[in-house]
Amino acid sequence: MKKYSKVIFVCDSGTARAPMAEAILKEYPLKSAIAVESRGLVVLFPEPLNQKAEAVLISNGINMESHMSQQLAPEDLAPENLIITMEALQAQKIQKEFEGAANADVYVLTELVGDELEIINPYGGTLQSYGLCYETLNKSIRKLVNILNEEDG
């Protein structure tokens, strides 16, 4: 994998999985300075972090209270950025709807790190389902950190 200057996590609304992934990755030491952000595929207006996602992050010692969702934009698909989606359908949507996406590095998180299952959307679920989503993300992101740090080694 090449060296990136930014990692952008993408989910549907940009209010739960992608910002949780962003927050988790920021907790890990990276060998090089890589900006970490999150976006949504359908963001009609900026929204705060989902309350259950925020509660799970806080229970894990992470504060993202000022987070507001942002729409994925064509300029996010720059060659120096690594775009990571939670599901294959999201990666396909980016490839289909964004001009220049063919040249962008767009991956599904779990495929990129060699995990079998996609990151399940906890939306509408219990606090426990958000906790499970956090645990799954954390496991995959630990592997991502190793991949990013190997590249810098």
For the structural domain made of 6-152, what CATH number should be given?
3.40.50.2300
The average pLDDT across 16-37 equals 97
In DSSP notation, 85-153 reads ESSHHHHHHHHHHSTTGGGSEEEEHHHHHT-SS-----TTS-HHHHHHHHHHHHHHHHHHHHHHHHHH-
Please give the DSSP secondary-structure letter assigned to residue 75: G
Whole-model pTM above 0.85? yes
Contact 121, 11 (CB under 8 A): yes
Q: Is the pLDDT of residue 153 over 60?
A: no
How far apart are alpha carbons 116 and 105 in whole angstroms?
20
- How far apart (Å, rounded) are the C-alpha atoms in residues 84 and 108? 6
Residue 3 CA to its chain's centroid (Å): 17
Nearest to 46 by CA among 67, 13, 68: 68
If you search the block for the tokens 């993300």, which residue do you land on?
137
The band of 152, judged by pLDDT with boundaries at 50, 70 and 90, is low
pLDDT of amino acid 129: 97
**CB-CB contact of 135 with 125 (8 Å):** no
Burial of residue 85 (number of CB atoms within 10 Å: 0-12, 13-18, 19+): buried
Taking only the tens place, the pLDDT of each residue in 32-72 is 999 999 999 999 999 999 999 999 999 999 999 899 999 99
